[in-house]
Amino acid sequence: MKKSRRLYFGGEAGEFENFMLSWKIRGAKKGYSLYITDERHEDLPETGLTMDWTGVNKDVKRRQNKALRLHNYCIVDLQEACEPRMISAWIEESMGSTSEERRAYPFGQVWIVLKPMISHYRGSSMLDINQFDINKAMIKMLPNENPDAIFNRMYAVRQRYAHQTDLQSSESSWVGLVVNGCTDAYRPVFLTSYSQNKHLPPSEIRAKLKADAQDNYESMVQSKETVSEFVTSDEVGLFPGIGPKTAKDKWWKGQECYLCGSKKHKAYNCPKKNQTN
């Protein structure tokens, strides 16, 4: 049987080096091997296909156009070789968030994709990667909880792994974790907010989700559909030593009532216990 010449990588860490070698060999045959790097090649204009060549030397223009064409071959071969689930988030992030950035490099920027890809398959141990996945799975909202809590848990995970560049997710992935981690009571709020704002950059979508969820929570507190004593908005609760302590934590240590802040009584004797806020 004739051996398939299709370039393929299924995501097995042990096969990554073989894949990189095969990719570079293929790149040498097609002329793009110089672009298989985690640094932008000097011939690639920063503005990509939107480059304004007015007044640019003809030789420079010819060289940059050739570089853009070969780079596109390079990034397209990478996308065809890998399972979509493996690199789609990295590709999406490398394309940029604005329409101008996406026109510049419509297939993505290979050097930006390669940085997390190389770090992921050569970097942290599988133990670190597994723990990162476990911590991301803990980004959940508890019943009757202030929705700020799920955002604080997400921020806590990001802060814990901020120094490990190979253990990072795209901005869109963090938004997805928050939406998927909300309770059933908040799912309509989150999904509606997301669908209305999905055209925005991920950071702005996250801010809209947080604001809309908090408005809904305050309305529920006012109507007594939920109780405001479950958790405060500054709750982190995932990793010790990250972020401010909650008022409820202080109460458990005997410092103050977590409903009004007084140090003279506990919450069950608080005058504000049965008041709407």
Q: Which of 96, 239, 86, 101 is nearest to 162 (CA)?
A: 239
Q: What is the mean pLDDT of the chain?
A: 80
* Phi, psi dihedrals of residue 129, rounded to the nearest 5°: -65, -45
Percent of the chain with pLDDT over 70: 76
Looking at residue 57, its pLDDT comes to 93
Q: Kindly state the percentage of the chain with pLDDT values over 90.
A: 40
pLDDT score for 259? 56
Could you give the residue ranges of the DSSP H alpha helices within the chain? 16-30, 58-81, 84-95, 99-104, 110-122, 126-137, 148-160, 171-181, 187-197, 202-222, 247-252
Counting every residue written for the chain, the total comes to 277
- Provide mean pLDDT across the span 61-82: 95
pTM: 0.45
Whether the pLDDT of residue 246 is over 60: the answer is no
Q: Are 111 and 37 in contact (CB under 8 A)?
A: yes
The structure tokens 């109460």 sit at: 251
Give 263's pLDDT tier (boundaries 50, 70, 90): low
Which pLDDT score, from 0 to 100, does residue 233 have? 38
pLDDT score recorded for residue 238? 47
Q: Are the C-beta atoms of 235 and 247 separated by less than 8 Å? A: no
Give pLDDT, residue 24. 93
